[in-house]
């Protein structure tokens, strides 16, 4: 039976952690783009669009991310779409992130006094110009700290992608624990790596909050 050193464990976990980072990055980026789109739909003043986005947000906030992953992974397969665990995880986490981000940003936009909309409207700015030049720069200051804070949730959320067989940090930890018979050591390393990823982000969010307050 082969012997495993601590370095063997850490090295393999680090290799898998790349996928955690990649998945977080894609989910956050996709969530940002899609979330911004949802935000504009919500601010459009069209009742139907507002309602639809509202339902979308409630749906994703009211169900476990785990179920969303399952439904997407198996649901796509049932519908005949040839999907991989990687693709399903990316899509599910993107949708999940977009629902939360759009809600965070809606709150930030709502915090901008109505007078800002009115003053810019009375200066004949179009909706797009109002949003781009007046609302967005002010809302950004409010939203940036909670947005960065949410990134931590996304990083930890990627752990759930392990259940559909995507080999990221958590899944790799499980596999290594099985082979090495060192579950405590392995999972401690896994936890430490998540912490190393998340802690600086939390610190950064808090610093931003202080700076922009």
Partner 1 sequence: MIAVPESVAKGGPSAEPHTQVGAPILRITALRKSYGTHEVLRGIDLDVMRGEVLAIIGKSGSGKSTLLRCINGLEVFQHGSLIVDGKHLLYDNPKAMRDLRQGVGMIFQNFNLFPHLSVGRNVMLAPHLVKKRPGAENDARARQLLARVGLAEKFDAMPDKLSGGQQQRVAIARALAMDPAIMLCDEITSALDPELVGEVLRVVESLADEGMTLLMVTHEMSFARKVADRVIFMHQGLVHEIGPPAELFGAPRTPELRQFLSSLHD
HSE value, Cβ hemisphere, 13 Å, CA-based, for 8: 10
Q: Which residues form the interface with partner 1 (CB under 8 A)?
A: 113, 115-116, 118-127, 129, 133-134, 137-138, 141
Minimum gap (Å) between residue 125 Cβ and partner 1: 6
CA of 151: how far to CAs of 133, 140, 178, 201, in Å? 26, 16, 30, 8
**C-alpha to C-alpha distance for 87 and 138, rounded to whole angstroms:** 35
- Cβ proximity to partner 1: between 1 and 114 the closer is 114
- Cβ proximity to partner 1: between 13 and 143 the closer is 143
- Cβ proximity to partner 1: between 141 and 156 the closer is 141
Minimum gap (Å) between residue 110 Cβ and partner 1: 17
**C-alpha to C-alpha distance for 138 and 120, rounded to whole angstroms:** 13
HSE value, Cβ hemisphere, 13 Å, CA-based, for 44: 15
Minimum gap (Å) between residue 112 Cβ and partner 1: 10
Minimum gap (Å) between residue 147 Cβ and partner 1: 18
Nearest to 59 by CA among 92, 26, 25: 92
- Cβ proximity to partner 1: between 110 and 191 the closer is 110
């Amino acid at each position: 039976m082969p012997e495993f050193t601590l370095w063997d464990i850490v090295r393999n976990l680090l290799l898998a952690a790349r996928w955690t980072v990649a998945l977080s990055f894609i989910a956050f980026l996709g969530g940002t783009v899609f979330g911004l789109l949802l935000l504009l739909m919500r601010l459009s003043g069209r009742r139907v669009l507002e309602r639809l986005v509202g339902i979308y947000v409630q749906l994703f906030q009211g169900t476990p991310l785990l179920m969303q992953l399952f439904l997407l992974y198996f649901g796509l397969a049932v519908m005949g779409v040839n999907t991989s665990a990687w693709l399903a995880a990316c899509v599910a986490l993107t949708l999940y992130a977009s629902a939360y981000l759009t809600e965070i940003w809606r709150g930030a936009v709502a915090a901008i006094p109505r007078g800002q909309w009115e003053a810019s409207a009375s200066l004949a700015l179009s909706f797009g110009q109002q949003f781009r030049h007046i609302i967005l720069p002010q809302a950004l200051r409010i939203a940036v700290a909670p947005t960065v804070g949410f990134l931590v949730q996304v990083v930890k959320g990627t752990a759930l992608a392990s259940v559909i067989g995507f080999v990221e940090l958590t899944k790799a930890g499980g596999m290594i624990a099985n082979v090495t018979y060192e579950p405590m050591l392995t999972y401690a390393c896994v936890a430490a790596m998540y912490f190393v990823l998340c802690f600086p982000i939390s610190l950064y969010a808090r610093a931003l909050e202080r700076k922009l307050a």
